[in-house]
Chain A
């Protein structure tokens, strides 16, 4: 549970931070700080067990049926990363407290930051690969949100989008890779996967898994050719750059490679893919960093280069290289986080990050300058600082690559060393020279506690650089042992190893770097260059934008060629497909069994003839006489209801009747807003039109016949083993109701019903959203042609007046009298639903009809003045009620939506049978009422809105005759 809280607490903290007021900068910082300190204490308390080489595991069932567990697994590597994430996180929180301006929406910042911390810890502590991918994507998401924190800035939005697209695509590849890996091993459990290294490497799918996982890791760690997103991510606030984009999130990629090193490494493919990407990144990043003018841009490219260095080490893959890789991950996090914070301070104090403007800052910011220079020296690999140690290890590993004859790797390493010294000098140069006078702000030292994180990190750089064996030694040892296991090499952490080749390379790099920088500065006018020489053509960001543009235009092209906004072709293709595809798939049915005709009832046949005539006539009238068509279709609906009744399905009949009523009325209300259709009798119809009309006719008839044939085929086939017997037998004994249909809906298959009710609500909200901004066609906004005559009462009376005192008075009195009756009937049908035909659905429809009638009678304005209809609340209440009833079962440790039946004896009502399904049914009732009312309100308000415009002229010309 303690382990679980490590991940859980940051997410809770994130939620709490989001709910705090916007001006509570201190409270949020305290909260975030408290969360990180808690995490640090918990993680630190695990150290004795971790140091003893134990692997702590905590399993929670997640999807037990799929063999997936939520596994937390802490070994040395995970522990070191946890400490890294939490420690840097704490310093960043402290720093951000002073960095963020009071006008920024701080709750959002800390909320996202804590969510990121939780996700990152999730990645680190996952003992299950699928779970790791989930947290992996969560880090991408939170990184996206944090980069776009200042979302009013276009570069922030663009950078966030780019970072998210690249890393999330990589995450998808990783997901696929993990699935392949799981397929090879047969388990997603990390312990099992790590133990199955030989089996994985021998498998045919090894290369596929490797490439996919490498894609995930390389995109996340900004490796060539995906490195371009990181410089653009610098639009984020500096604490974010310092935390996510240098110390932790970009390390997730290399962390994954280290994590899976036992399972995947040791093949030429591994070395070529990982090492190759690493070398390219290393050189490109370091080279490009020299030519940046933005402080954070320089640091971003330097981060890319250092990540490349780590990747190369992992690609080399020897045990000593792994030691160097883990060591450099820690070192880089320390000095780069402090450098970013220093850059943030400089930005904060001077108002600019342009290195062409910044000069002589050591006069105004002496302490910050000292700190930044020390950290910069660590980045350059100056002896007695931590960067030197791991770089030395890198050089010695590079020497081993390609044995004695091939020196390319060593050359690349030295070149990278030279470049990194050069860009470090470029960075440091802002502190020297005459003080700048044209800065946007006059700089002075930042607050004490804003500088504190930088001081602490720089101190760590120094301590580790001078006495590595006693400061970082034990921690590194823990991580290395956890990764390498038995093959842990003998290594020696010391600043001095005597005169050897790596030392010579370091000296060459330092001297060469200084010379290179001086030459660049004096001969090539470094400050005037606007782009990186040689490699500016390989612009990843441009390639990304081009790909995105191509994708968009490709999608548009596809849409233009395959899509249509016209309904008719879509329907035509759909019907033809429905006719053709089943035949193609199943072939022509071989034989038709004929069932003996038994006792055809002439009356029933007559009812059906009427229904068929109504349907055909409805289709006939649909084009020019919509009202008639609607009435005829309503007739067909009533015949259907009668059929259900005839065939002993009273529940269905009742529902059908109510649904028919409600839909007819709602469509009737909608008809008003359709533009009038002018009958073109005189126009001569061209033969082409006849042709395609006949085609449509043929398709329509064929579709209808096919449906009829399908129904017939279903009917004549003997029913196979259905579960209806089960329901019939168990409804009363286990569901506690004799109406099987209702028990089925609210008890046996209540999850289904819950889904349906949710869909209904969504449909209602969609209708509402569509109609909210809808304005009727101009020709149908005025008073309808039928009411336009001056003799019509509607021309000089509002709907309410007509109903209250006008010609609708009799009908008005009657319908208002009917309202309570309809209410009582709704309650009656609802109450008896469990045992007799009825239930929440029907009751809801009846209740909705009661209100619907009032709207039709007196108009929306009058009804809403007298009756407060709040369909949204009905919807929400219904859904919440249904859900909580279902969740209530959990309190008694039963599955979701289990029904409990209580028998209550009340003084007046006698013995009452009260199942909890009853409450669920009440939720269904409320949701149905809400749905119907919401659609009704959306339609009814059209008239309120539509008359607002023409109201000026409409009453004028209609008042004249009266």
Chain B
């Protein structure tokens, strides 16, 4: 990290800001995962971490390496694209299984009371 010290201020400032922001968001997400009482609420914690938190850190990384190597480094765009695509899909699959578990246990009220987006009834008709 020898280069970090010699980073020009105009690059260091946004990079540091994004890093701190990303870290904060991730921390908030982690606390949310720990503290929220319901599964359907808790799932928002990791989602926020993955999208916003990771996004901020990736932007910081782009700024840092672009300045360091004196050429545009945009690998991170690819990473963000894949992260942004896989995270919601994974979250959806996890939520579906939670819904299924609740349905089997007969806790239909929990579904209607919590989030009403994921009811498996609509894809039962092939």
Which residues of A come within 8 Å of B, CB atoms? 789, 791-793, 796-797, 801, 805-807, 809-811, 814, 962
Is B85 a contact partner of A791 (Cβ separation < 8 A)? no
Given A807-B120, A811-B89, A814-B86, check contact A791 B100 (CB 8 Å).
yes
Q: How many angstroms from the CA of A814 to the CA of B81 in the assembled complex?
A: 12
List, in ascending order, chain B residues with CB within 8 A of A793's CB.
120, 123-124
Q: Which of B85, B89, B96 contacts A807, CB < 8 Å? A: B96
A547 to chain B, nearest CB (A): 65
Given A810-B92, A811-B93, check contact A791 B123 (CB 8 Å).
no
Given A791-B100, A791-B104, A792-B100, check contact A806 B89 (CB 8 Å).
no
Label chain B's interface by main secondary structure: helix
B121 to chain A, nearest CB (A): 9
Given A814-B85, A814-B89, check contact A807 B103 (CB 8 Å).
no
List, in ascending order, chain A residues with CB within 8 A of B100's CB.
789, 791-792
A65 to chain B, nearest CB (A): 53
Given A791-B104, A811-B92, check contact A806 B123 (CB 8 Å).
yes
Q: How many angstroms from the CA of A797 to the CA of B103 in the assembled complex?
A: 18
CB within 8 Å of A: which of B55-88?
85-86
Is A791 a contact partner of B120 (Cβ separation < 8 A)? yes
A23 to chain B, nearest CB (A): 57
List, in ascending order, chain A residues with CB within 8 A of B8's CB.
none
- 16 more A-B residue pairs beyond the given contacts A791-B103, A791-B120, A806-B126, with a C-beta to C-beta distance below 8 A: A789-B104, A791-B104, A793-B120, A796-B124, A796-B126, A801-B126, A805-B126, A806-B123, A807-B96, A807-B120, A809-B123, A810-B92, A811-B92, A811-B93, A814-B85, A814-B89
List, in ascending order, chain B residues with CB within 8 A of A797's CB.
126
Query: For B85, B86, B93, B126, which residue has the most chain A Cβ atoms within 10 angstroms?
Result: B126
A212 to chain B, nearest CB (A): 71
Nearest first, the 10 closest Cβ-Cβ pairs linking A and B are A807-B123, A791-B103, A814-B89, A789-B104, A811-B89, A806-B123, A801-B126, A810-B89, A811-B93, A810-B92
Q: How many angstroms from the CA of A814 to the CA of B104 in the assembled complex?
A: 28
List, in ascending order, chain A residues with CB within 8 A of B103's CB.
791
List, in ascending order, chain A residues with CB within 8 A of B123's CB.
793, 805-807, 809
List, in ascending order, chain B residues with CB within 8 A of A811's CB.
89, 92-93
Q: How many angstroms from the CA of A796 to the CA of B124 in the assembled complex?
A: 9
Nearest residue in B to A805 (C-beta to C-beta)? B126
Q: How many angstroms from the CA of A793 to the CA of B126 in the assembled complex?
A: 10
List, in ascending order, chain A residues with CB within 8 A of B126's CB.
796-797, 801, 805-806
Q: How many angstroms from the CA of A793 to the CA of B125 in the assembled complex?
A: 10
- Mark B98-126 against chain A: 1 for CB-CB distance below 8 A, else 0: 00100110000000000000001001101
Label chain A's interface by main secondary structure: loop
Q: How many angstroms from the CA of A369 to the CA of B103 in the assembled complex?
A: 96
Q: How many angstroms from the CA of A789 to the CA of B126 in the assembled complex?
A: 18
A817 to chain B, nearest CB (A): 8
Bin the interface of chain B by size: 10 to 19
16 examples of A-B residue contacts, CB within 8 angstroms:
A789-B104, A791-B100, A793-B120, A793-B124, A796-B124, A796-B126, A806-B123, A806-B126, A807-B120, A807-B123, A810-B89, A810-B92, A811-B89, A811-B92, A814-B85, A962-B124
Query: For A789, A796, A807, A814, which residue has the most chain B Cβ atoms within 10 angstroms?
Result: A807
List, in ascending order, chain A residues with CB within 8 A of B85's CB.
814
Nearest residue in A to B86 (C-beta to C-beta)? A814
Nearest residue in B to A789 (C-beta to C-beta)? B104
List, in ascending order, chain A residues with CB within 8 A of B124's CB.
793, 796, 962
A882 to chain B, nearest CB (A): 33
List, in ascending order, chain B residues with CB within 8 A of A789's CB.
100, 104
B81 to chain A, nearest CB (A): 10
Q: How many angstroms from the CA of A482 to the CA of B123 in the assembled complex?
A: 94
Nearest residue in A to B88 (C-beta to C-beta)? A810
A481 to chain B, nearest CB (A): 86
Q: How many angstroms from the CA of A810 to the CA of B117 in the assembled complex?
A: 15
List, in ascending order, chain A residues with CB within 8 A of B96's CB.
807
Nearest residue in B to A811 (C-beta to C-beta)? B89
Q: How many angstroms from the CA of A796 to the CA of B93 in the assembled complex?
A: 19
Q: How many angstroms from the CA of A807 to the CA of B94 in the assembled complex?
A: 12
Q: How many angstroms from the CA of A807 to the CA of B122 in the assembled complex?
A: 9
A293 to chain B, nearest CB (A): 79
CB within 8 Å of A: which of B12-64?
none
List, in ascending order, chain A residues with CB within 8 A of B89's CB.
810-811, 814
A206 to chain B, nearest CB (A): 79
List, in ascending order, chain A residues with CB within 8 A of B104's CB.
789, 791
B86 to chain A, nearest CB (A): 7
Query: For A791, A796, A797, which residue has the most chain B Cβ atoms within 10 angstroms?
Result: A791
Nearest residue in A to B103 (C-beta to C-beta)? A791
List, in ascending order, chain B residues with CB within 8 A of A792's CB.
100
Q: How many angstroms from the CA of A500 to the CA of B86 in the assembled complex?
A: 108
List, in ascending order, chain B residues with CB within 8 A of A810's CB.
89, 92
Q: How many angstroms from the CA of A789 to the CA of B93 in the assembled complex?
A: 18
List, in ascending order, chain B residues with CB within 8 A of A807's CB.
96, 120, 123
Nearest residue in B to A809 (C-beta to C-beta)? B123
A494 to chain B, nearest CB (A): 101
Q: How many angstroms from the CA of A809 to the CA of B123 in the assembled complex?
A: 10
Q: How many angstroms from the CA of A962 to the CA of B120 in the assembled complex?
A: 13
List, in ascending order, chain A residues with CB within 8 A of B93's CB.
811
Q: How many angstroms from the CA of A789 to the CA of B97 in the assembled complex?
A: 13
Q: How many angstroms from the CA of A556 to the CA of B120 in the assembled complex?
A: 60
Nearest residue in A to B92 (C-beta to C-beta)? A810
List, in ascending order, chain B residues with CB within 8 A of A962's CB.
124
Q: How many angstroms from the CA of A810 to the CA of B96 in the assembled complex?
A: 12
Q: How many angstroms from the CA of A711 to the CA of B103 in the assembled complex?
A: 50
B33 to chain A, nearest CB (A): 16
List, in ascending order, chain B residues with CB within 8 A of A791's CB.
100, 103-104, 120
B39 to chain A, nearest CB (A): 17
A300 to chain B, nearest CB (A): 76
Nearest residue in B to A815 (C-beta to C-beta)? B89
B98 to chain A, nearest CB (A): 13
A798 to chain B, nearest CB (A): 9
List, in ascending order, chain B residues with CB within 8 A of A801's CB.
126
Q: How many angstroms from the CA of A807 to the CA of B123 in the assembled complex?
A: 6
A219 to chain B, nearest CB (A): 71
A849 to chain B, nearest CB (A): 14
Q: How many angstroms from the CA of A197 to the CA of B104 in the assembled complex?
A: 92
B75 to chain A, nearest CB (A): 13
Nearest residue in B to A792 (C-beta to C-beta)? B100
List, in ascending order, chain B residues with CB within 8 A of A796's CB.
124, 126
List, in ascending order, chain B residues with CB within 8 A of A805's CB.
123, 126
Q: How many angstroms from the CA of A792 to the CA of B100 in the assembled complex?
A: 7
B94 to chain A, nearest CB (A): 11
Q: How many angstroms from the CA of A792 to the CA of B123 in the assembled complex?
A: 11
List, in ascending order, chain B residues with CB within 8 A of A806's CB.
123, 126
A836 to chain B, nearest CB (A): 14
Q: How many angstroms from the CA of A309 to the CA of B121 in the assembled complex?
A: 96
List, in ascending order, chain A residues with CB within 8 A of B92's CB.
810-811
List, in ascending order, chain A residues with CB within 8 A of B120's CB.
791, 793, 807
A834 to chain B, nearest CB (A): 21
B87 to chain A, nearest CB (A): 11
B108 to chain A, nearest CB (A): 11
Q: How many angstroms from the CA of A811 to the CA of B126 in the assembled complex?
A: 17
Q: How many angstroms from the CA of A814 to the CA of B83 in the assembled complex?
A: 12
A914 to chain B, nearest CB (A): 27
B95 to chain A, nearest CB (A): 11
Q: How many angstroms from the CA of A792 to the CA of B121 in the assembled complex?
A: 10
Q: How many angstroms from the CA of A814 to the CA of B91 in the assembled complex?
A: 13
A610 to chain B, nearest CB (A): 14
Q: How many angstroms from the CA of A787 to the CA of B96 in the assembled complex?
A: 13
Q: How many angstroms from the CA of A789 to the CA of B86 in the assembled complex?
A: 28
Nearest residue in B to A813 (C-beta to C-beta)? B89
Nearest residue in B to A817 (C-beta to C-beta)? B85
List, in ascending order, chain B residues with CB within 8 A of A814's CB.
85-86, 89
Nearest residue in A to B90 (C-beta to C-beta)? A811
Nearest residue in B to A791 (C-beta to C-beta)? B103
A830 to chain B, nearest CB (A): 19
